[in-house]
Structure 1
Amino acid sequence: MKLIIDRGNRNINSSQKNRYGNLTIDRSVKNSSPVISLLDIKNTISSNSTNIKPFNQDNNIVKEKTKNIKIKSLVNTNASMKILKGQKISLNQKSPNISKLMVALEWEIKNTSNKKLELDTSIFMVDKNNTTQEEDFIFYSNLKSAQGGIVLKSDHNSNLKDGYDEVVQLDLTKIPLNIEKLAFTVTIYEAEDRGETFENISNAYFRLIDTYTKKEILNYKFDDQLSEETAIVVAEIYRYKGEWKINCIGSGFKGGLKALCYNYGIETD
């Protein structure tokens, strides 16, 4: 599979026709800045300007969007396990409901730019050769895996998604047998052009929630020791001896989405 990076028009009314099956990253000019466009309308985490929270009093941190604290409080975090980079945990032992899981991501953005920093979440479904096929790349223009095991921006109808910056619905019983692991990644949109890096991010958390019981299973702070990176592999959920385990990766890259694609065997131009 090859991702083609060029310059075109990201405008959703563009005459250029994109089709899934020929995955294209379109580096186009809109408002005098190159951007990434993948097939359909780009639904980035901070796309709704009405959700931007005002600066706080110290003018140092700004929330990218207003999360619903009341909804988030519905999740029981009392027994949530705090895990560290490199730590590996059995999910089957921690939760019997591996068909009703939800990954919840949240972060704060430092006020370091006049432009609004945007983050995108992607999931690479990786086979035994440590590569990802085109149809197994889940991102903002391909929200759902073919078998329904992964659905970006969904929450098993638990009504919890508005409590977080991003959510990913998981049903591990629907992950194809040829898939060995699921890599959860976050990238900064237009990072190089805007001069933004993960140094501009703070209090970033990866949380795993059982949506059936509304209990948080574990949490991982993934922004520690990041500075010049523009992309990060946050965590990997993988098969091991008949069960599912999680490994907190926390590995950063400087090349944004292109670097992540290269890491998982997706050829780019």
Structure 2
Amino acid sequence: MTQGGNAPLTASRVTVEVTAPKRLDVSALLLGANGKVRSDADLVFFNAPQGPGVSHRPATGALPDAITVDTWAVPADVARVVITASLDAPAGTFAGTEPTATVRDAATGDVLVTFTPHRLGRETALVVVEVYRRGTEWKLRAVGQGYADGLAGVAGDFGVTIDRPAPRTPPAPPVPATPPRVTLDKGRVSLVKGGSVSLVKDGRPLLTSVRMALGWEPARRGRNIDLDASCIAFDARRERLETVWFMKLNVFNGAIQHTGDNLTGAGSGDDEAIDVHLDGLPPEVCGLVFVVNSFSGQKFTEIANAYCRLIDSRTGNELVRFDLTNAEPHTGVVMCKLVRQYAGEWVMTALGEYVDAKTARGMVQPSAALL
């Protein structure tokens, strides 16, 4: 199967094996029509191996971790069963070791389909495939959606309260913690590099239209400072779909629109902005990366008070701010990304990664690597 593809299930009871060169923990989540678990008991994994119609098989000898789904026994209010894989090693990533899902007829052992996701990077967990209802039939979809915060991140997106699965091996030495993901429940958020914020409040999507605004101070002497804000849209395979920049002001029938080029940074408030109507984006858009380039050639160490902020387009309220402090001597910066989670919500992550590029064209490859 290819990523995003689906196929009918030709067996009523199937086993999904997930293998990789690294040791994996395979889990399943039973989701209702709202895309959430009914309770924490709907997470099936090595510490809770039995659920209604779903069971976990631990790796033994030549047999890998696996999930078995008996579609006849799955409760009627469960719309789909999501199969995930997370790395057993605390500091490991899937970079260069993409796992393969093998779906077998549980009765005969015959292989029905296989699926290997496209290139992965910093992900530590993955929604591999899902078994879902379509009317009275059951089908299989190849997903390949990655997460950087392990099983806890996957489970949290689907409504499970979990900190981290208990390790089956002695704990490794502590590794530097990444900033936690927060929501907008308490209002405006100031992000630090690597920090993430989920665009939900009280468990529901807060907004559908946002503005990503950029500001900086004009040069006090010498050449004018011309910064350019751009937005690069990617699909699930990290392939570029479109770029919105000063040479192309809108894409996807206006779902992403640039407000226009500012050549100097003069004027109060924001200097450039990009409006994004999240509901208007085609389903193949999985990630948006916002980048800034110094078209005039000054390095960011020469630019004062550069920032980006996320604004609710409907109310004008500032939701998230990320200031470019501790700038580096480069002409391009990958500011932040908006990633559509498999559960449907959008999550913004501050990146602040500097590269040498003066236009958006030079930012595509480094942006893809950071998704």
Q: Do the structures match in fold with TM over 0.5? A: yes
1:259 aligns with 2:367: no
The answer to whether residue 229 in structure 2 is matched with residue 121 in structure 1 is yes
Which structure features the higher share of helix residues?
A: 1
Matching of residue 249 in structure 1 with residue 351 in structure 2: yes
The 3 A distance-change label for structure 1 pair 162 and 147 is farther
Contact 2:209 2:314 in 1 (8 A): yes
Cα distance in 1, alignment partners of residues 246 and 301 from structure 2? 23
Match of 1:238 in 2: 339
Distance 1:124 1:231, change over 3 A: same
Q: CA deviation at 1:114?
A: 1.7
| 239-248 or 252-261, which deviates more | 252-261
Q: What secondary structure is seen at the aligned counterpart in 2 of 1:147?
A: helix
What is the Cα deviation at residue 126 of structure 1? Answer: 0.9
Q: Which residue in the other structure is 1:225 paired with?
A: 326
Are the aligned partners of 1:98 and 1:173 in contact in 2 as well (CA < 8 Å)?
Answer: no
Alignment partners' CA distance in 1, 2:235 and 2:301:
32
> Following the alignment from structure 1 to structure 2, what is the Cα–Cα distance between the partners of residues 236 and 264?
9
CA contact (8 A) 1:120 1:189 kept: yes
Distance 1:237 1:264 in 2: 12
Q: Output the CA distance in 2 between the equivalents of 1:107 and 1:80.
A: 21
Q: Give me the whole-angstrom Cα distance separating, in 2, the residues matched to 1:107 and 1:211.
A: 21
- Unaligned runs of 5+ residues in structure 2 are 1-185, 261-266
Residues 66-106 of structure 1: CA deviation (Å, up to 9, x unaligned): xxxxxxxxxxxx94211111011111338855333211211
* Cα drift, residue 128 of structure 1: 1.4
Q: Alignment partner of 1:256: what SS?
A: coil
Q: Which amino acid is 2:356 matched to?
A: K
The code of the aligned residue for 1:225 comes to: N
CA distance in 2, matches of 1:246, 1:213: 19
1:152 maps to 258
Q: Give distance in 1, aligned partners of 2:212 and 2:367.
A: 21
Which protein, 1 or 2, shows the higher relative CO under an 8 Å CA cutoff with sep ≥ 6? Answer: 1
Contact 2:252/2:281, CA 8 A, preserved across alignment: no
Aligned: 1:177 with 2:283 = yes
Aligned to 2:240: 132
Correspondence for 2:195 among 87, 107, 116: 87
The residue aligned with 2:152 is: none
Checking the alignment, whether the CA contact within 8 Å between 2:293 and 2:357 is kept in structure 1 is no
**Conserved in 1, the CA contact under 8 Å of 2:217 and 2:305?**
yes
Against the structure 1 CA distance between its residues 127 and 162, is the aligned structure 2 distance closer, same or farther, given a 3 Å change threshold? farther
Cα 1:181/1:190, change in 2 over 3 Å: same
SS at 2:362's partner residue? helix
| RMSD over aligned Cα atoms | 2.4
Deviations 1:138-186 (A, max 9, x none): 11121111232211117xxxxxx97411111111001111111100010
> Which residue of the partner structure matches residue 164 of structure 1?
270
More strand by share: 2
Q: Which aligned runs of 4 or more in structure 1 are off by greater than 4 angstroms?
A: 94-97
Q: Quick check: 1:232–1:250 contact (8 Å CA) kept in 2?
A: yes
Would you say the 8 A contact 1:102–1:167 is kept in 2? yes
Larger Rg: 2
CA distance in 1, matches of 2:353, 2:364: 14
Question: Structure 1's 183 and 249: CA in aligned 2 closer, same or farther, altered over 3 A?
Answer: same
Shift in Å at residue 190 of structure 1? 3.7
Of all paired residues, the percent bearing the same amino acid is 24
* Structure 1: unaligned runs, 5 residues or longer: 1-77, 155-160
C-alpha separation in 1, matches of 2:253 and 2:201: 24
Q: Which amino acid aligns with 2:188?
A: S
The whole-number CA distance in structure 2 between the counterparts of 1:264 and 1:217 is 23
TM-score by length of structure 1 reads 0.59
Partner of 1:142: 248
